[in-house]
Structures are given as structure tokens and as C-alpha cells.
Amino acid sequence: MLNSKQRAYLRSLANSIDTILIVGKGGINAEVIRQADDALTARELIKGKVLETSPVNAPEAADQIAAETSSDSVQVIGSKFVLYRRNDKDPKIILPKERKK
């Protein structure tokens, strides 16, 4: 589970990455889940888009894909969403720690 500081950090990183996952009129199927899982393993942070012809909207798509890939939904804005999953074998993103009070 991400805290607000980590979520903000991931949102800042997501600004510069390209959209690599598209959910179209076929909705969320096994192929979309496999693509998301492979991309999360390779990159840790991915950006997706839900097309207007899709039977699901962006928040639903982000939640469903996150649940099936064991990842965290970082943000959803309009038709785009950002997902994050740490790669324990080869971490690429170092998240900020929460300060102790």
C-alpha cells in the first residue's frame, strides 16, 4: 500500500512516460492483463488509456487490472490511469520513505 508521499512521487515520474497499455472495445481480457503484468515486471510503472469504445471506464479498468496483477493504482485522470508494482528481483524505482513522527 502506497502512502501519499510515495503516490505523489510516482505521479511525478508518470508525467514523462508514454501510454503503453490500451483498453479498447474488447474490454479487459486475458491479453490485456498479460500485457499489463509483463510491462509492470519490466518497468514497475505503466500508464494506460481506456478508449471511448470500451465497455469499462478508466477507474473500473485501473481497479480491475490492479487487482489481477497485484499492483497499486497510482492515479486516474480522465481516460488515463497509472499503475505501479515493485519488482523485488530488480527494483528500478526507489520510493521515498515516510518520515517518523
Residue 25, C-beta contacts closer than 8 angstroms, at least 6 positions apart: 51, 53, 54, 55
Which residue segments constitute the domains of the chain, with CATH numbers given? 4-84 (3.30.110.60)
Q: Is 64 exposed, middle or buried (0-12, 13-18, 19+ CB in 10 A)?
A: middle
pLDDT of 10 reads 96
pLDDT per position as a tens digit, 6-63: 999 999 999 999 999 999 999 999 999 999 999 999 999 999 999 999 999 999 999 9
Q: Report yes or no: 11 and 25 within 8 Å, Cβ to Cβ.
A: no
Q: What pTM was estimated for this model as a whole?
A: 0.93
Rounded to the nearest 10 degrees, what angle do helices 30-43 and 58-69 cross at?
Answer: 70
End-to-end CA distance of the chain: 19
